[in-house]
Amino acid sequence: MKATIQSIQRGAVLLLLAFMAPALVCAQDTHYGPTGQQIPPPACLILRGAWEGGYVPCTAQTHQQWLTDITHWRTERRIRIGYDPARYEMPALKWAQSSFMQPQMMVHDRYFYDPVAGKYTVDRYLDDLEKRYGGIEAVLIWATYPNMGIDDRNQHDMVRSMPGGIEGLKQMVADFHRRSVRVLFPMMMWDQGTKDPGASWPDAIAAFMKQIDADGINGDTQDGVPLAFTLAADKLNHPLVFEPEGGPHDEALAWNVLTWGQYKFQFVPTVDKYRWLEPRHQVNIQGRWNRDKTDDLQFAFFNGEGWESWENVWGIWNGVTPRDGEATRRIATIERAVAPFLTSQEWEPFYPMNMYGVFTSRWPLGDRTVWTIANRNEYDVIGRQMTVPYREGMRYFDLYHGVELQPVREGDQNVLSFTTEAHGYGAILATAGEPGAGIQALMSKMKPMTEKPLASYSHQWEPLTQQLVEIQPTRASSKAPEGMVRIEGGKFLFKVQGIEIEGGDDIGVDVQYPWEDAPRRFHEHIVAIKPYYMDKYPVTNAEFKKFLDASHYHPKDDMNFLKDWKGGSYPEGWAKKPVTWVSLEDARAYAAWAGKRLPHEWEWQYAAQDNDGRAFPWGNCESSASQFDGGARPCPMRADPQDAPAPTPDKGRVMLAASDVDAHPKGASPFGVMDMVGNVWQWTDEYFDEHTRGAILRGGNHYQPQGSIWYFPQAYRNDQHGKLLLMAPSYDRSAGLSFRCVKDAD
């Protein structure tokens, strides 16, 4: 009985503690704990319906309670993580604190590199951004994903393959520095399936960035870049700014001085956790798929931070609208001019405003103060917007409109009246006496800039249209040339889809065929195909050497050209292997010499599929030796892998040589065309828009780097194709990519 009573008493105590626990936690910690990277606003700012308890406006008391609460959280959090601000005080890294606008720039962008002239065009790229949205402070130069994995080049090999190699990279970085733009490159810690870098990644990255004089590193897919990378860079006396894609663990705030902000947007802005912990920590909000950038820009301006002005998303153009471009120009102009204010340790988010839906942050600096304002309403807000304590001799300036305000004194308060456009912006400066020369210059710039309202600029988003690069027909032949197979023409149901990893079914993904009005991922069209001849096998090393010996062809951009060859010839035993490390331009040169041309994609697919809709050239079974994972039933098992219709995939870190082109006769297509799938990718058509070029590759290859979903995906099925983003021959050439030719028939 006694034991039973004691058991009941213990249960009662435990139950009481369970009820008390939330209260104890609330007393010790914040009521407004961050969710991910975002600290919620005061509850009273959230408009609630009657069924939710109704809306009760905020008061000075509720604002102060919220501010005290999150300030307490910040103080305690800094203690808990042992925060050390030393890196924010390093002169070499201070540039990041005012790095407001930073695009992620694909190296394939035609504004950055001119493939015809064969040179970097940094000035053209920067001039375009200046014109459209006011320029940038830094650029993230992206040379890796989505092309990486087509062969065993690792992330640094891909960058080194850019035109000019190391010397070209150094000059390109210097060109950005000449325009006062800092340069970052990405690192992919998921890249564990390609070539080993030969050193630890921290040491390899630090040494490479010092070699080309880069300023920082973006940690792709990383929630914080580990300290080891910072220490490796410091050891070489070349400190780098590290910018993880995801928010770092709070401890890493001390050495990750820059971050992306990937927010969930709502009507009321949220406070960035990392910027609140350390106002000198710069955040660039990144919403690459958002077609309307209003949320990104308003949350950034409210937090005094920047924007990842990313338009070329893996070759898919998501350009800013004229309205968003003009809004970017205006807020960036203000932020650059008041940058010292925006690192204030006395930052006060949600300074009380008079009108609902208009939100501001207060940034004191000495005896001066700046407010950054975002109007989240769908309507203009005009008149009495701010109330500030009265101070003798204090003057107020509307920085956004470039005019001085005349406050109205009401007791011990001053009321400031001004206009904030629907979904627009504002900025106020309070200062005693005349503003400095910098502020005067800002106001002189902003006044004419803002005379035209943002609403007068188009907010209509438009995709870029693409064009097919024309392929000139060859002289028609009445009989099959040696080594070619005749393909009879006819109507062909051409059905294919792109295998891009990202982009969904959004307009702009993949390519735009001549019969389509915009790029898209899924395609179906009946094509009338004229008779033609196709090479039975991909062009071999022996055949390509005949071309070189006869034509003395040598490309202007010869980096990586026939990279596997030595002394002007292919390795012993490679005569029948498909020639690789040839660019689209190299393949076209060979075809012209041979009196042939490259195939259109639908010609390649017709030769592989005929009109029976088969999944693979040999039929509908999936090669068990190849482990294609194509979703089809497996082909019958064969004792000898050479009897399989395609090569066995190569999954090591070092890519092996391709198979001989005639090694898998069981893989013949209905027309007898061989080696179409699973050995080497094959060049077909090229498409381009104003910013990007891309080539359609068919057939997949034998190399499958392991360990990540982000490597260039295979397209083994007849109804799939790959799209390789093109930059320059040095970069485009690959150990996993070859070609075959066609010739027009009478």
Look-up of token digits 């991910």: 36
Please name which of 371, 264, 271 lies closest in space to residue 45, comparing C-alpha atoms: 271
**Could you read off the pLDDT of 418-440 as tens digits, one per residue?**
999 999 999 999 999 899 999 99
Low-confidence ranges of the chain (pLDDT < 70): 1-28, 624-641
Q: What is the pLDDT of residue 17?
A: 38
**Could you read off the pLDDT of 79-100 as tens digits, one per residue?**
999 999 999 999 999 999 999 9
Residue 571 lies in a domain: yes
CB 129 within 8 A of CB 716: no
Q: What is the helix (H) or strand (E) element at residue 138, kind and residue range?
A: strand 138-142
Backbone φ and ψ for 334, nearest 5 degrees, come out as: -70, -45
CB within 8 Å of 308: residues ≥ 6 apart: 102, 103, 104, 140, 260, 284, 285, 286, 287, 288
Pairing mode, strands 425-432 and 368-375: antiparallel
CA dihedral 625, 630, 631, 632 (to 10 degrees): -60
Residue 726 lies in a domain: yes
Q: What is the pLDDT of residue 630?
A: 55
Tell me the chain's radius of gyration from C-alpha atoms: 31
CB within 8 Å of 500: residues ≥ 6 apart: 146, 314, 316, 509, 510, 521, 713, 723
Q: For position 543, which CATH number holds?
A: 3.90.1580.10
Two tokens, residue 355? 């009108």
Residue 352 lies in a domain: no
Q: What is the pLDDT of residue 4?
A: 40
Residue 321 lies in a domain: yes
Q: What is the pLDDT of residue 624?
A: 53
**Of the residues 281, 313, 337, which one is the last residue of a structural domain?**
337
Q: What is the helix (H) or strand (E) element at residue 413, kind and residue range?
A: strand 413-420
**Could you read off the pLDDT of 565-592 as tens digits, one per residue?**
999 999 999 999 999 999 999 999 999 9
Secondary structure letter of residue 215 according to DSSP: -
Counting the structural domains of the chain, the total is: 2
643 Cα distance to chain centroid:
43
The rounded percent of the chain whose pLDDT value lies above 70 is: 93
Please name which of 246, 341, 718 lies closest in space to residue 493, comparing C-alpha atoms: 718
**Of the residues 337, 362, 387, which one is the last residue of a structural domain?**
337
**Of the residues 305, 337, 369, which one is the last residue of a structural domain?**
337
- Across the chain, which distance is largest between two alpha carbons, in Å? 108
Backbone φ and ψ for 553, nearest 5 degrees, come out as: -65, 135
Domain range for 646 = 463-746
SS3 assignment, position 730: helix
For residues 264 and 37, what is the distance between their CA atoms, to the nearest angstrom?
10
Residue 503 lies in a domain: yes
SS3 assignment, position 114: strand
Q: What is the pLDDT of residue 633?
A: 67
CB within 8 Å of 515: residues ≥ 6 apart: 525
338-342 — which CB contacts under 8 Å span 24+ positions? 338/363, 338/370, 338/399, 338/427, 338/429, 338/439, 338/442, 339/97, 339/98, 339/100, 340/365, 341/304, 341/365, 341/368, 341/369, 341/370, 342/98, 342/279, 342/304, 342/305, 342/370, 342/372
Residue 183 lies in a domain: yes
Tell me how crowded residue 565 is: count the other CB atoms within 10 A of its CB. Answer: 18
For residues 255 and 89, what is the distance between their CA atoms, to the nearest angstrom?
11
CB 492 within 8 A of CB 611: yes
Q: What is the pLDDT of residue 326?
A: 98
Residues 329 and 467 in one domain: no
Q: For position 129, which CATH number holds?
A: 3.20.20.80
Residue 74 lies in a domain: no
Cα atoms found within 13 Å of the Cα of residue 676, Cβ hemisphere only: 34
CB 430 within 8 A of CB 388: yes
Residue 7 lies in a domain: no
Q: What is the pLDDT of residue 643?
A: 80
690 Cα distance to chain centroid:
18
Strand order in the sheet with 104-106: 104-106, 138-142, 182-188, 216-223, 241-246
For residues 341 and 350, what is the distance between their CA atoms, to the nearest angstrom?
16
13 sits in the region (left: phi over 0; alpha: psi -120 to 50; else beta) called: alpha
The DSSP string of 383-405 is EEEEEEE--TTEEEEETTTTEEE
SS3 assignment, position 532: strand
Q: What is the pLDDT of residue 469?
A: 98
Q: What is the pLDDT of residue 482?
A: 96
Residues 482 and 628 in one domain: yes
